[in-house]
Structure 1
C-alpha cells in the first residue's frame, strides 16, 4: 500500500512538472523576430543561406525574394572558410589543422537605416590529420564545416532576435 502511494505521488509530481510549460526562449529552435519579413542577400547556391532560410521559415518570419518588400535586409559583407596548420609532428609533417569559418554581415531596415551594424562571427575547430587516412579526414573536415555552418545559423538567429525595433 505504501509503495502504491509513493508511485502515485511520484507520477503526479512528474506530470505536474512536465505540464507547467517552462522552456528556455529559443530552445525549441524558434525565435521571435522583431520584423515580419526579411530579405537575405546570399547567393542562390549558398548552403549557409539555404539553411538560414529554412530556419527562418520555421518561425513567423517570411523570407522574401524582393528586398523592396522586406522590413529587414541581411547583407553579407564577407564569408570565408580557411584551413591552417596548427601543429607538426617530429618529422615535420602536419599533425593538426585549424578550420575557420568567418561571416561578416549587417542588417538594415526598409529605409536603409542600420538595425545591426557590421557583425563578425568567427568559428574555429581543430582536426587531427593522419596521411594514411586521407579520405576519412576529408569526410571529417566536411562534417566539421557543416557543424560550424549550423552553429553559425543559430548565432545569426540569436542576433536577429535580439535586434531592438526602431
Structure 2
C-alpha cells in the first residue's frame, strides 16, 4: 500500500521536470574540451577537469582534438576581513573566488568573456586558530568546486543556446 503514494510522487516529480542536482548534461558541441589556463595544475583547473568528466565530456590535451576550448583568462582567490572585535581583532572573514572565462569552438565564440565571483563567510576564533585554519581550507576547497561546477553549467547553457 505504501508503494502507490511513492509511485505517484515519482511520476509527478518526473512530469514537472524535476531532476536531482548533479552533473550538467553537456551538448554535443562540448564532447571534447580543451582547457586553456595559465596554470594547468591549479585547484580550479583540476576541479574543472573533474566536473567536465562527470558531465560526460572528454578533456583533451590539444586544441586540435577539441570540439570546444574553455579558456580561463583570470583566476583570483583571496580573503578579506568582514568584521572586527572591539579590540580590533578580525572576527569574520569572507573568502572569494573570481574567475573570468570564455569558450569557443571551430565556428567561433560560444561564450564571451564572463566574470564569475562566489563567496563564503566564516567566523574566526582566536582560541581555536588551528580549527579555523582547517575550516578556511575546507571552505576554500568547496568554493573552488562550486566555481568549477558553475563554469561548466554556464558553458553548457551557452553551447546549447549557440547550437539552436
Shorter-chain TM-score: what band? 0.7 to 0.9
Aligned length: 157
Equivalent residues of 2:24, 2:153 under 8 A apart? no
1:9-68, Cα deviation, whole Å (9 max, x unpaired): x42232343367825357242413241211011333122212221222223322111011
Where in structure 1 do 4 or more consecutive aligned residues deviate above 3 Å?
23-26
Structure 1: gaps spanning 5 or more residues: 1-7
1:108-150, Cα deviation, whole Å (9 max, x unpaired): 1135x21101111101111111222111111000111111112
Structure 2: gaps spanning 5 or more residues: none
Q: Which has the higher contact order (CA 8 A, sep 6+)?
A: 2
Note closer, same or farther for the CA distance 1:50–1:26 as it changes in structure 2 (3 Å cut): farther
State yes or no: 1:18 paired with 2:10: yes
Note closer, same or farther for the CA distance 1:87–1:16 as it changes in structure 2 (3 Å cut): closer
2:21 corresponds to which of 22, 27, 32: 27
Aligned CA-pair RMSD: 2.1
Equivalent residues of 1:76, 1:105 under 8 A apart? yes
Note closer, same or farther for the CA distance 1:98–1:60 as it changes in structure 2 (3 Å cut): closer
Larger proportion of helix: 2
Q: Distance in 2 between matches of 1:117 and 1:25?
A: 29
Larger Rg: 1
> Which residue of 2 is the match for residue 5 of structure 1?
none
